Amino acid sequence: MAPPHVALFPCSGIGHLIPFLRLAATVAARGCTVTLITLHPTVSAAESDQISKFFALHPHIKRLEFQPLSFKKSKFFNEDPFFMQVEAIGNSVHLLDPILSTLSPPLSAIISDLSVASSISSFASDKSISTYVLVTTSARFFSLMLLLPKLAALSGIQENGHLELPGLGPVPISSIPPPMLDSNHFFSAVINSNIPCLSNVKGILMNTFTELESASIEALNSGRIVPDLAPVLALGPFDSFEFEKAPNLPWLDEQAPESVLFISFGSRSALSRDQILELRDGIEKSGFKFLWVLKANKVDKDDKEDAQTILGESFLERTKKQGMVIKGWVNQDQILAHPAIGGFISHCGWNSVTEAARLGVPVLAWPQHGDQRVNAAVVESAGLGLWAADWGWGGEKLVVGDDIAAKIGELMLGKDLRARAKEAKEIARKAREIGGTSDGFLRLLAEELKLQEI
């Protein structure tokens, strides 16, 4: 009998791509044929670079390049280049249908991004291919997405600026991303059109773990969020690859244990110029050693100005012993794993949160948009970090350097916080080891996909 053949279809953006690559490697390690559907061209240079490295490391994984048709005008409000590509994919995903039918051996399962789940599951079910969806956000934010059709009706019920949502408890209205509440926005349209198929898919895979989000995962799986949802399998935190672990930061090697603050806002969030300058002042005033990945544009290909032009030569000169500013891609996972790192200012993209938990690094949450405020609440309630909720969404207000310096001090000197982050690391490790909660879900998936035991 031919081994099972599983295809994976990630959508635009590193935050979607990376968990798919990590899951593809996990599935491929269990002796099945794996096809990864990759987008061409990618929006960011980082995506194409990660894809190339991935195939170089996994030559046995097949690549199916998919080029979405270009489109002239969106029906929705959509001006984010990553969302624009998601819309283009949605408009052309039907082209994949005949291609998937010709793959050899025939596909037994497809793991799709949520943003195309509805189309993929409809043509997969015609061919008796099992569909799974890999959801790339937190279980708590995913729950909110599932409740989106009800949010409009619930928005009248405001208790101290909170919505009381079934299975979620009170959710501050200020944490719901405004595009989600705007029916003309592509973000809410894509959720609304893909949520209904989630009762028909075989399973919903997530890069989270039971101990981190027990209440949300339990609420999802008991039908308290929505009835008839496919089973949610919390498989995380996903592990990184060898190529992400290459050591290349001699400066960091020279620093004392847990003395360096790492600052990164992920792959698609850029602070305003004024906010970058306040952050610069806050970092310097805090006096802590730092490693700052500076990003001044949403898309890396447009991020051409150097650190000196943005931050000023005198800052770089004054702080040359205090820290390092990097423009461009770094191996974040490798940096977070470094013993010199003692804290992480993060926008709380979900991958970053799970990496901080897996590596036991305390977080100062500074969410900018999307799911990040809800993710920040998970960070805070899990004891993994601090969240200055009054700093608002990115661009909502200018957070001044003195306030930033004070929070950095709380993060870097917080002994209890550090101890709790280490506990989170231990709990994450146990979740993934044999007999752990995530291992249990992975075994269930492997059984359903008829993969080999390892």
Site residues for ligand UDP per CB under 6 A = 13-15, 18, 264, 266-269, 293, 329-333, 349-352, 355
What secondary structure letter does DSSP report for 324? Answer: E
Cβ closest to ligand UDP, residue 14 vs residue 189 = 14
| Least distance (Å) between residue 448 CB and ligand UDP | 26
Burial of residue 254, with CB atoms counted within 10 A of its CB: 0-12 exposed, 13-18 middle, 19 or more buried: exposed
| Least distance (Å) between residue 333 CB and ligand UDP | 5
Q: Which residues are catalytic?
A: 16, 113
| Contacts of 96 by beta carbon, 8 Å cutoff, 6+ apart | 9, 37, 66, 120, 123
| Least distance (Å) between residue 347 CB and ligand UDP | 6
- Is the distance from CB of 33 to CB of 5 less than 8 angstroms? yes
Cβ closest to ligand UDP, residue 13 vs residue 342 = 13
- Is the distance from CB of 232 to CB of 155 less than 8 angstroms? no
Cβ closest to ligand UDP, residue 108 vs residue 346 = 346
453 by DSSP, 3-state: which? coil
| Least distance (Å) between residue 270 CB and ligand UDP | 11
Cβ closest to ligand UDP, residue 131 vs residue 333 = 333
CA separation for the pair 424, 384 (Å, rounded): 7
| Least distance (Å) between residue 353 CB and ligand UDP | 7
CA separation for the pair 181, 183 (Å, rounded): 6
Q: How many CB atoms lie within 10 A of CB 40?
A: 10
Cβ closest to ligand UDP, residue 349 vs residue 401 = 349
| Least distance (Å) between residue 447 CB and ligand UDP | 28
CA separation for the pair 443, 453 (Å, rounded): 8
Cβ closest to ligand UDP, residue 93 vs residue 356 = 356
- Is the distance from CB of 376 to CB of 253 less than 8 angstroms? no
Q: What count of Cα atoms within 13 Å lies in the side-chain half-sphere of residue 231? A: 10
Backbone torsion region of residue 223, taken as left when φ is above 0, otherwise alpha when ψ lies between -120 and 50, otherwise beta: left
